[in-house]
Copies of this chain bind each other. A is one copy, B any other.
């Protein structure tokens, strides 16, 4: 079976190229401009290989969001590991998350969520994926902040932070909203720290 390993490695590399090209095409051309043909060409992968790995546009885009969300979660863990401990950690974690919610993966996912509203096949594929990504982002945030979600108020504060960041991501779609976002998050970080400390003191 050892002769199959290089083949498997080539397959994985081809898949990774296709999935990264999918997100890049969604960011550059939007949902309607992203065809499987355009993605294959952008990835430098033959049409046959693309169809072999991901036979439909829905299969391709859902695999792309799944794969890149997992990779982004791993990156966030690595970046968060480099943050200082103590009070500054919360600020750093919020900044890392805010960068994710204004980055290419968020933009690509938003293209899919909006397209799925009026595309039954895509919607059926995305509803469970959206729920899973939502749960994983919540768990990752709890982990990165190093808070105990069993404490009262922690769950709501973490969820509100993620919903706030999603709203800020949308506000950044057409124009650079970073000065307003930075000012707003400056205040939010203090509130979040107070909420998390407050609740832990109430134990």
Contacts and interface: CB of A to CB of B under 8 A. Distances in A.
B166 A127 contact: no
A156 B170 contact: no
B167 A113 contact: no
Contacts of A111: 114
Given A163-B171, A167-B169, A170-B170, 13 more contacts: A30-B115, A32-B32, A33-B118, A110-B170, A114-B173, A116-B174, A123-B174, A160-B164, A162-B167, A163-B167, A163-B168, A164-B164, A167-B170
A118 B30 contact: yes
Contact of A113 (B130, B157, B159, B170): B170
A145 interface: no
Nearest to A175: B127
Given A187-B153, A191-B191, A166 B170 contact: yes
Interface string A106-150: 010011011111110001001100110010000000000000000
A173 B117 contact: yes
B187 A156 contact: yes
A163 B160 contact: no
A168 to B, nearest CB: 5
Interface in A78-118: 107, 110-111, 113-118
Contacts of A167: 162-170
Contacts of A191: 191, 195
A32 to B, nearest CB: 5
A70 interface: no
